[in-house]
Structure 1
Amino acid sequence: MPHLVLRTIDGAADLLIEDLRAMSSIRSICQLSAETVECAVDGPLDELAASALYFTAEPDREAAEVAPLSWMRRFGRLERLPWSTNPVVAEVLVRLAKIRPGHRVLDPFCGTGTILLAVRRRAPTARVVGTDHDPHALEIATRNGTQDLARAKADALPFKDRSVDRVVTNLPFGKQVGSHALNRTLYPAVLSELDRVLTPDGRAVLLTEDKRLLAQAIQRSALKLVRERLLKYNGATPTAYVLTRPRRR
């Protein structure tokens, strides 16, 4: 029975373990570190290959065949820009969104479409839409296989009030895209627009490293912070913020 060491990101190991526990072909699971999980596989690799919560799978011996678990086999050939969302990070954000069948899911900073593709993998019946102000990024997103894209700014979305069930996005936080100075006005404006388009039971998952600024904007917004998840990868330490509408008494 081959053992595999799966490498993920710090902040996603618990979600990966949850996936593994639901697989009939997995016989044992052991978390080795914040970024690695070991498991024993007894059967086909199809279930494991369907998970998008790890980068690589390393066998404990040369004989183990792990070709079906390769990055290309699981994620496909994606065109990317330097600031494109990491596919494993995108998967974590989508899990936090708790998307249900038929939900309309929006990424207002969709870039090359990584989060949109993660939504489609996780929730095939969701209605996925993406917007971005950069036409070049939207062209790449189209080549990556995403649909229902529109050029628009995130603080002026082309959607009706209360028409979006879930928002999942990687905000610009000033390292490769945007700036801290611009975010001072951008973050409050985006939160106001999300408040407008989200349904009464809507949910938003926002990733950023400009944490203090977003936290301050959330405190002044009509949305409620219900959860935070710190992620660590490639020297980055962003936090995913999960927002909902306050419950009416």
Structure 2
Amino acid sequence: MSGTSDRLVLRTLDGAVDLLLQDLRSLPSLHSIRQTSAITVECAVAGSLDELTACPLYSTAAIVLPASTNGLLRGLEQSAEYGVLATLGPRIGFRVGVDHHEDRRELIVAVEQSLGWVNRPGDWDVNLTRTADGWVAQVGPLSWMRRFGRLERLPWSTTPLVAEVLVRLAKVQKDHRVLDPFCGTGTILLAVRRREPTGWIVGADHDPRAIAIAKRNTGRSAHLTQGKAEALPLPPGSVDRIVTNLPFGKQVGSHRANRMLYPAVLSEIDRVLAIDGRAVLLTEDKRLLRESIDRQKALKVIRQRLLKYNGATPTAYVLTRTRRALR
């Protein structure tokens, strides 16, 4: 992509901003990086967009624009000339995300006449929206799905950003063997592959529909099997990392079922996890998981992270073996 110069706002999960900041600060093409809210980071781009495009920890990117219509048009024109929007080509498709019909129509006409862009709300490159601080222009090619591709999903599938956070917490390293025993449609496995291409990834799920979709999503990059997480077809000590989104009784499973499931899954994790292994488990059935871990005594929680998204507030628990289990 061509050189750029714009101020962008990147949006991530509540609970993941520090991870996004860490990634962005390692990119030479970005500067003036600062957190602006629990879910947003602002930065300036100078140089190629390739580094920013490859970062998987944000969902959308938007150019910060002046509050007035005239200022907005000047900002868009400048970005289209030598900034981020210069990467999109001369015939930019746009939409205006404003509820008020007259305001929306007025801005559409202004953009068409001043910039020669095409009003294309169903297939847009730029989405103009108004915030409390002024206008922003969401950049379609920098959206998560445009950067990494659309995945087939089920209603309870793990969201890609959540998967990326869990994989960061797992600290996957070169040639690690990584398991998701509730792999669903394969979102976490794909995040592992992006993070560490040399890893050996394996997924299991009891739902044949999920496994069929996971096979289409992951292609040949994962070893998938239909089966229960309580009885994995793996030898003892055979995986270095376990990363999974546990059923927690909202869209999948129930608290009553989890009272049997969680202790059984923890026993299986204890069996297949390497001596120096690490597990990352996400759930909203938090008390039950902590009680199950305390009763088992083979694993301990060394870190936890609260995430908030789509009305859910699950916690990711990072587990390693206890000293007693290492004896």
TM over 0.5, shorter chain: yes
User: Once the 2 structures are TM-superposed, how far is the Cα of residue 73 of structure 1 from its aligned partner?
Assistant: 2.6
The 8 Å contact of residues 188 and 244 in structure 2, kept in 1 or not, is answered as yes
User: Once the 2 structures are TM-superposed, how far is the Cα of residue 67 of structure 1 from its aligned partner?
Assistant: 4.5
Deviates more, 1:141-150 or 1:30-39: 141-150
Rounded Cα–Cα distance in structure 1 between residues aligned with 2:262 and 2:289: 6
Asked whether 1:191 is paired with 2:263, we answer no
Number of residue-to-residue matches in the alignment: 249
| Alignment-mate amino acid for residue 157 of structure 2 | S
Aligned to 1:180, which of 240, 251, 255? 255
Asked whether 1:13 is paired with 2:88, we answer no
Unaligned runs of 5+ in 2: 66-75, 86-138
Rounded Cα–Cα distance in structure 2 between residues aligned with 1:90 and 1:69: 19
The 8 Å contact of residues 30 and 38 in structure 1, kept in 2 or not, is answered as yes
RCO higher in 1 or 2 (8 Å CA, sep ≥ 6)? 1
| Alignment-mate amino acid for residue 170 of structure 2 | A
Show the 5 A alignment for 1:199-214: 199-214=274-289
Asked whether 1:234 is paired with 2:310, we answer yes
Root-mean-square deviation (CA), in Å? Answer: 1.1
Unaligned runs of 5+ in 1: none
Rounded Cα–Cα distance in structure 2 between residues aligned with 1:88 and 1:179: 24
Show the 5 A alignment for 1:80-229: 80-146=153-219, 147-221=222-296, 222-229=298-305
Superposed CA deviations along residues 142-172 of structure 1, whole A, max 9, x for unmatched, are: 1112431001100000000010100000000
Q: Which has the larger radius of gyration?
A: 2
Superposed CA deviations along residues 15-52 of structure 1, whole A, max 9, x for unmatched, are: 00000000010011110100000000001111111111
| Identity %, equivalent residues | 70
Q: What secondary structure sits across from 1:220 in the alignment?
A: helix
Deviates more, 1:141-150 or 1:186-195: 141-150
Asked whether 1:26 is paired with 2:37, we answer no
Q: TM-score, normalised by structure 2?
A: 0.74
| Alignment-mate amino acid for residue 14 of structure 1 | D
Rounded Cα–Cα distance in structure 2 between residues aligned with 1:67 and 1:235: 25
Asked whether 1:47 is paired with 2:24, we answer no
